[in-house]
Structure 1
Amino acid sequence: MADNDSVLSAAAAWKGAPMALATVVSTWGSAPRPRGSHMLVHADGRFEGSVSGGCVESDIMATAAEVIAGSPFQLKRYGVADAAAWEVGLPCGGEIEVLVQPVSAEGFDPELFDRIADARDAGQALTVTTDLATGQSNLRPAEGAVFANRYNPPRRLLIIGAVQIAQALAGLARELGIATVVIDPRARFLTEERFPGVTLDDRWPDEAVAAYAPGSSTAVVTLSHDTKIDDPALVAALAAPTGYVGALGSRRSHAARRERLALAGVSEANLDRIDAPVGLDIGAVGPSEIALSIAAAMVAAFHAKVP
């Protein structure tokens, strides 16, 4: 799944300016970026995003300048079998095909960015189809050589319990581009000094989690070690199609947790959705390493949820 959040933000900021959009439409072998990855190029030379991790960006920018100036869309292929690909620096062993189209009614209609933003704000996915024969993108099904790009809602993490592990996990999530909310009704734990730049919510966790309506792009992780706080949050998270649900604690404490949640009406199938002890088993020691293991498990779950 391609991460295009920064590109979509740039599209909103640059709205109305001449732009070109480059998109990875095919990959072979060890391609540096997945299909659907975007690079948005402004007429003044600014750009956001990446189609190759830096290997062919210079060539793409030159092509984008031509397209912005009025040249037709271009479909370019880079691979180690081509001398030109080596010249622009794609030595990773893979091949990519990149579509460069104008951001216009004849290419990627600017209104599509608004439609994508509206869908993401509503927690919904949206698929844009592109006719590779004409270089035009729209929301309608198409025939022939078509590339379909799915834009999923932005990833979000709801952390229950403003504890030390939560501080480290919130920082990692920020670096991963995951919007984070820390939920804790205990005012002395939930402070801006302890969680700078993070959304804080002091409601009781069941109310807060339900209000965020978690879907497949949302993770809920309980860390408070207080059953009065963690259990209601888990009940709310498991009542929704939450993409990842994790709970801190030992196997013994989780067995007791399962009994409590079962008595609260949570089904066996939903209990099995809880990742507990939370995180990948990397032998983590200390809050930072535990946070790293949780972040890795969360990202793995997000990828597994992609259709």
Structure 2
Amino acid sequence: MTPAADILDLVSDLKATGEAFALATVVRTVSLTAAKAGAKAVIRPDGTISDGWIGGGCAKSAVLKAAREAIADGKPRLVSVQPADLLQEQGLTAGEESEGVRFASNMCPSQGTMDIFVEPMLPKPELVVCGASPVAIALTELGRQFGYRVVACAPKTSREAFGDIDQLIDGFELENTNRSQRFIVVATQGSGDLAALRAMLSLDANHIAFVGSRKKMANLRGRLTADGVAPEQLDRVKAPAGLDLGAITPQEIALSIIAEVIQSYRQQQQAVAKQTA
């Protein structure tokens, strides 16, 4: 059994590398149980235990299922593993959820009760903003407020225009990464549109949007197609960027875009959660 202190060191390391996982902690036990209160385990997205201990088969399957779901939708779970006769006395069945608690049956000879809190540890989704336009600057400010890891791809001479962002990249050279979900907005607005789009289309991303009219995007699409960019790649770009709020000012346009990013993020999160349920 790995000491809880070592588990917390592992948690710190995984958070630093931006990996998604769940931390399961035994918060209460009654009678005889394999694991005691305070026992912890790190669980990966595929449902495997990376390290730690939360008991044997009596609790394991229910906790692993809860961990997969928690990682998928970002919501914590509380699992209560109880003897079948105790569940029956309360009018409960295994797999049932009541008042935020999911119940599971303990079929082991110990017949003890364990309550396990499953907490998802998810990296921040990444918002990549190309350009140093007023819309781009306003968007980076909103991105930070809504908990995104914000990366600005803009000339280094524009650094002072941006506030507290996580990273500034001089130009559009950005690498693919598995660190987190990535949402890209090209807000160059005439200063490097073609180069920014070409670079961003080479990346893995959950969402790519372009700040500009449909007519402008159609023109850029034609030029990129002539340069050999595949149509299916260009189909990934949402243009114009943002929800239709009737936005006029840079701040309003940025708000419509961050709303669309949030909508995309939550819809994808819900879709994954349904697949793991």
Task: Note whether the superposition's TM-score is higher than 0.5.
Answer: yes
Shift in alpha-carbon separation, 1:224–1:127, aligned structure 2, 3 A: same
* Distance in 2 of aligned mates of 1:144 and 1:213: 31
1:294 equivalent in alignment to 2:233: no
Q: Match of 2:171, as an amino acid?
A: W
Partner of 1:253: 216
Moved more, 213-222 or 154-163: 213-222
2:170 corresponds to which residue? 203
Among 97, 108, 126, the residue aligned to 2:21: 126
* 1:235-274 pair list within 5 angstroms: 235-274=198-237
Residues 224 and 175 (structure 1), Cα distance of their counterparts in 2 relative to 1, 3 Å cut: same
How has the CA–CA distance of structure 1 residues 115 and 198 changed in structure 2, closer, same or farther, with 3 Å as cutoff?
closer
Give runs of aligned pairs for residues 162-173 of structure 1, distance below 5 A: 162-173=132-143
Match for residue 187 of structure 2? Answer: 223
Contact 1:216 1:243 in 2 (8 A): no
Match of 2:145 in 1: 175
**Cα drift, residue 131 of structure 1:** 7.0
Measure the CA separation in 2 of the matches of 1:177 and 1:222.
Answer: 20
**Distance in 2 separating the partners of 1:218 and 1:126:** 18
Letter in 1 for 2:188: S
Verify the 8 A CA contact 1:185 1:202 in the aligned structure 2.
yes
Across the aligned residues of Structure 1 and Structure 2, the Cα RMSD in angstroms comes to 3.0
Residues 231/126 of structure 1: CA separation in 2 closer, same or farther (3 Å cut): farther
Distance 1:174 1:230 in 2: 24
Counterparts of 1:220 and 1:125, CA distance in 2: 20
- In structure 2, the CA distance between the partners of 1:232 and 1:281, relative to structure 1 (3 Å rule), is same
The Cα offsets for residues 130-189 of structure 1, whole Å up to 9 and x where unpaired, read as 6787564423457332120423332222211111112221211111121222222373xx
2:128 partner letter: L
What is the distance in 1 between the residues matched to 2:143 and 2:260?
12
- Deviation readout 1:172-211 (Å, 9 max, x if unpaired): 1111121222222373xx141x223235635221x2x23x
CA distance in 2, matches of 1:237, 1:137: 40
Question: Which residue of 77, 85, 110 corresponds with 2:8?
Answer: 110
Deviations 1:276-306 (A, max 9, x none): 1001111112111100000011112222333
Distance 1:201-1:108 versus aligned 2 partners, 3 A rule: closer
Deviation at 1:271, TM superposition (A): 1.4
Provide the rounded CA distance (Å) in 2 between the counterparts of 1:235 and 1:128.
39
- Give the structure, 1 or 2, with the largest relative contact order (CA under 8 Å, sep 6 or more): 2
Please list the CA deviations of residues 76-133 of structure 1 after superposition, one character each: whole Å capped at 9, or x if unmatched: xxxxxxxxxxxxxxxxxxxxxxxxxxxx94699423422431440xxx4334456787
**TM-score of the two chains, using structure 1 as the length reference:** 0.55
Shift of residue 221, structure 1, vs aligned partner: 1.0
Q: Which runs of 5+ in 2 are unaligned?
A: 30-34, 50-56, 72-120, 273-277
Once the two structures are overlaid, the 10-residue window that deviates more, 141-150 or 242-251, is 141-150
- What amino acid sits opposite 2:164 in the alignment? G
Aligned length: 194
Q: 2:123 aligns with which of 109, 134, 153?
A: 153
Answer whether contact 2:159 2:168 (CA < 8 A) is retained: no
CA spacing shift, 1:161–1:109, aligned 2, 3 Å: same
Contact (CA 8 Å) 2:133, 2:189: kept in 1 or not? no
